[in-house]
Amino acid sequence: MSSRREETVLTALREVVGKSHVLTEPDMVAGYVRDWTGRWTGHCAAVVRPGSVAEVQDVVTICREAGVAVVPQGGNTGLVGGSVPHHGEVVLSLRRLDRLEPIDPASRSVTVGAGVTIGALQEHARAAGLAYGVHLASRDSATVGGTIATNAGGTHVVSNGDTRRQVLGLEVVMADGTRLSRLDRMPKESLGPDLLHLMIGSEGSLGVITSARLRLLPGEGGQAMVILLALQTLSEGLDFLGPDVRALEFFDGACLDAVIDHRGLARPLPVAPFYLLIESGGRPSIADNAVAVVDGSLWAYRESITEVINGLGVPVKLDVAVPVDRVDEFADAVKHLGLEGDIYLFGHLAEGNFHVNVVGNRDPEAVVDRVLELVVGLGGVIASEHGVGVAKADWWRRTTELSLLAFHRRVKEALDPDRIMNPAVFWGD
């Protein structure tokens, strides 16, 4: 953008959202242009913080008319580089859209702004004796809009499903500034496809999610039992899947060592190749000779892993899944790829979802290629819950079936013909 055009756009944006909500100073925008892991740092003309849907519409319209691309941003906890501006885009922060409407107990649902954090939503639901089904360690920053845009998974997918399963209705601002709303859907409707569901998992590339109506679950009655077990192989852990299981999480010995060293936690179990954390509504049957401990605070071992690894250096993070009957094969093969650096494996066992984290590697692209080749060879998926972003955009285009890719392209061209919505994700523009 020429500096004159940039000044004109900034003036128009200030008129819409107010001067104090258009940030341009380097120290003010720093936290918005760098991703959570520190692997990607971009730059932007401005961070704009609208306080209403009408302001979002005006901001998008101003940017489109000026030919300036926009990166919608929630909590900026995304792990695939999709939430930061890579080519000077305007960052559209949705955090001020943080309205929590009263819960409707009859339909067990609630309408909330896109900027509400998952933690605040869970608290709101809990106060009404209900629960929101998506559980993430990033809950205090990750937003409703961001989790819908990435179709976030988390630790309770085995019992509650992913974010897509919680969405009852959406309000969206499209790339041309139009507001579309399906927040007031009846519990039962047969009115054709709900086209706004295209926004789920679209990572800001089709429009801006401004509000959502979400399904709530009955409050988790009774105390859940949390058990930590030592495993020799991951597939042993799959034997614990059962109707009462709410979460089935694993991590390897390297993760546990790092958490013990950096969080000052006691070693809960003897050294083993893998550990399994089970959260269950009833007592799962565990052999008497199994090495196990039972205690709700065990979640700290699992939920500290991401932050502890980040403290060890900028990690190359890969979120992938393989068919569950191939988890042992994958875990073994990934450790024998000869990757430079320290490898940490953890994830969501019930879905075959691995987080492969490599610290101390000087060639992230090579790590991505080697691990994803392995995943594809085993019939897995290259992005299981974090999205495609920029981290896997090349691989997404390379591995998506051509007819499906053509369909994606037609949708993008129809909804965002000027390519102003987060152009770097998926398409690498």
**Residues of this chain that bind ligand MLT (CB under 6 A):** 79, 137, 306, 317, 319, 355
Query: CB under 5 to 8 A by kind: which of ligand MLT, ligand FAD, none does 111 bind?
Result: none
Q: Which is nearer to ligand MLT, 355 or 412 (CB)?
A: 355
- 280 lies in the site for ligand FAD, by CB under 6 A: no
- 352 lies in the site for ligand FAD, by CB under 6 A: no
Query: CB under 5 to 8 A by kind: which of ligand FAD, ligand MLT, none does 355 bind?
Result: ligand MLT
Are 254 and 308 within 8 A, CB to CB? no
Are 148 and 200 within 8 A, CB to CB? yes
- 77 lies in the site for ligand FAD, by CB under 6 A: yes
- 196 lies in the site for ligand FAD, by CB under 6 A: no
Q: Which is nearer to ligand FAD, 292 or 411 (CB)?
A: 411
Of the candidate residues 57, 83, 111, 280, the single one contacting ligand FAD (CB under 6 A): 83
Distance between CA atoms of residues 383 and 368, nearest Å: 12
Query: In whole angstroms, how close is the CB of 324 to ligand FAD at the nearest point?
Result: 18
Of the candidate residues 10, 44, 63, 142, the single one contacting ligand FAD (CB under 6 A): 142
Query: In whole angstroms, how close is the CB of 3 to ligand FAD at the nearest point?
Result: 26
Of the candidate residues 71, 116, 228, 339, the single one contacting ligand FAD (CB under 6 A): 71
Distance between CA atoms of residues 84 and 389, nearest Å: 10
Given the rule CB under 6 A, which of 12-20, 150-158, 253-261, 390-398 is the region that contacts ligand FAD? 150-158
Q: Which is nearer to ligand MLT, 213 or 317 (CB)?
A: 317
- 209 lies in the site for ligand FAD, by CB under 6 A: yes
Query: In whole angstroms, how close is the CB of 157 to ligand FAD at the nearest point?
Result: 9
- 304 lies in the site for ligand FAD, by CB under 6 A: no
Residue nearest to ligand MLT (CB): 306
Of the candidate residues 57, 122, 138, 357, the single one contacting ligand FAD (CB under 6 A): 138
Of the candidate residues 154, 284, 315, 352, the single one contacting ligand FAD (CB under 6 A): 154
Given the rule CB under 6 A, which of 130-138, 218-226, 269-277, 374-382 is the region that contacts ligand FAD? 130-138
Distance between CA atoms of residues 1 and 199, nearest Å: 29
Distance between CA atoms of residues 384 and 89, nearest Å: 27
- 114 lies in the site for ligand FAD, by CB under 6 A: yes
Query: CB under 5 to 8 A by kind: which of ligand MLT, ligand FAD, none does 146 bind?
Result: ligand FAD
Query: In whole angstroms, how close is the CB of 425 to ligand FAD at the nearest point?
Result: 5
Indicate left, alpha or beta for 354 from its phi (over 0: left) and psi (-120 to 50: alpha): beta
Find the helix packing angle between 3-17 and 53-66, rounded to 10°: 170
Task: Compute the C-alpha angle 185/188/194, nearest 5°.
Answer: 55
Q: Which is nearer to ligand MLT, 79 or 390 (CB)?
A: 79
Query: In whole angstroms, how close is the CB of 373 to ligand MLT at the nearest point?
Result: 20
Query: In whole angstroms, how close is the CB of 142 to ligand FAD at the nearest point?
Result: 4
SS (H, E, C) the chain: CCHHHHHHHHHHHHHHHCHHHEECCHHHHHHHHECCCCCCECCECCEECCCCHHHHHHHHHHHHHHCCCEEEECCCCCCCCCCCCCCECEEEECCCCCCECCCECCCCEEEEECCCEHHHHHHHHHHCCEECCCCCCCCCCCEHHHHHHHCCCCCCHHHHCCHHHHEEEEEEEECCCCEEECCCCCCCCCCCCCHHHHHCCCCCCCEEEEEEEEECEECCCCCCEEEEEEECCHHHHHCCCCCCEEEEEEEEHHHHHHHHHHHCCCCCCCCCCEEEEEEECCCCCCCCCCCEEECHHHHHHHHCHHHHHHHHCCCEEEEEECCHHHHHHHHHHHHCCCCCCEEEEEEEHHHCEEEEEEECCCCHHHHHHHHHHHHHHCCCECCCCCCCCCCCHHHHHHHCCHHHHHHHHHHHHHHCCCCCECCCCCCCC
Query: CB under 5 to 8 A by kind: which of ligand MLT, ligand FAD, none does 378 bind?
Result: none
Nearest alpha carbon to residue 238 among 160, 356, 318, 328: 328
Of the candidate residues 36, 274, 396, 426, the single one contacting ligand FAD (CB under 6 A): 36
Query: CB under 5 to 8 A by kind: which of ligand MLT, ligand FAD, none does 130 bind?
Result: none
Query: CB under 5 to 8 A by kind: which of ligand FAD, ligand MLT, none does 201 bind?
Result: none
- 153 lies in the site for ligand FAD, by CB under 6 A: yes
What is the contact surface with ligand FAD in residues (CB under 6 A)? 36, 71-79, 82-83, 94, 114, 136-138, 141-143, 145-147, 149-150, 152-155, 203-204, 208-209, 306-307, 385-386, 422, 425
